[in-house]
Amino acid sequence: MRVVIAGGHGQIALRLERLLAAGGHEPVGIVRRPEHAEELRKAGIGAVVLDLESATVEEVAAALEGADATVFAAGAGPGSGVERKDSVDRAAAVLLADAAERAGVRRYVIVSSMGADARHEGDEVFDVYLRAKGAADDAIRARPNLDWTVLRPGMLTNDAGTGLVRLEVAAGRGPVPRDDVAAVLAELLDTPGAAGLTLELVSGSVPVSVAVKDIAGN
């Protein structure tokens, strides 16, 4: 598979790209900075330099040409303000969906967040973030031309992955290593039966491949 990953220099994206490349797939990261593109290329990973906050649908669609799937793993980051929660966490996800439809790329996996809800209340930056992620999820799930999956991890950690997870429609709160999030994403991309599902992910006791197959009905 050729998989184009928005936010291609992010912590989860880098892990996913390595997994996909090791599995014989062709990952391509969309990144904002030329130096990040160079890092990816040196690692044998494709890269496209695009700023999703200013790119047009046509530009993003061109980056998606020939792709079998796309993953939205971009984020404004913990130090960003209210405006970028909307322009990255919501609007850029919608832009990628628009571009995927234009390029004819049906498979779309979005990395969301536990608690994402467009109707979430509160005035703190994290509240705005949860609303933005929820609105993005809603916009993606409303598209019949996309075979979408929404993945909502719990609290992300940099602990070494265990390969053991709990992946359910309602998994409950808990932490999960970024390694395991990337592993689940790789499995979801290779599992057509996961399309149309919104899933929560935390650490658990079920091997990643089994958890994905179980939830997809395989």
Helices 178-189 and 11-22 sit at what angle, rounded to 10 degrees? 50
Contact criterion met (CB below 8 Å) for 150 and 171:
no
* Nearest CA among 91, 172, 189 for reference residue 133: 91
Helix or strand or coil: residue 114?
Answer: coil
pLDDT number for residue 218: 65
Give the whole-angstrom CA distance, residue 158 versus residue 110: 20
Query: pLDDT tens, position by position, for the chain (218 residues)?
Result: 999 999 999 999 999 999 999 999 999 999 999 999 999 999 999 999 999 999 999 999 999 999 999 999 998 777 777 778 888 999 999 999 999 999 999 999 999 999 999 999 998 888 999 999 999 999 999 999 999 999 999 999 999 999 999 999 999 999 999 999 999 999 999 999 999 999 999 999 999 999 999 999 86
pLDDT tens digits for 1-52?
Answer: 999 999 999 999 999 999 999 999 999 999 999 999 999 999 999 999 999 9
Decide if 108 is catalytic.
Answer: no
Work out whether strand 206-207 and strand 164-168 pair parallel, antiparallel, or are unpaired: antiparallel
- Residue among 72, 108, 129, 148 flagged as catalytic: 129
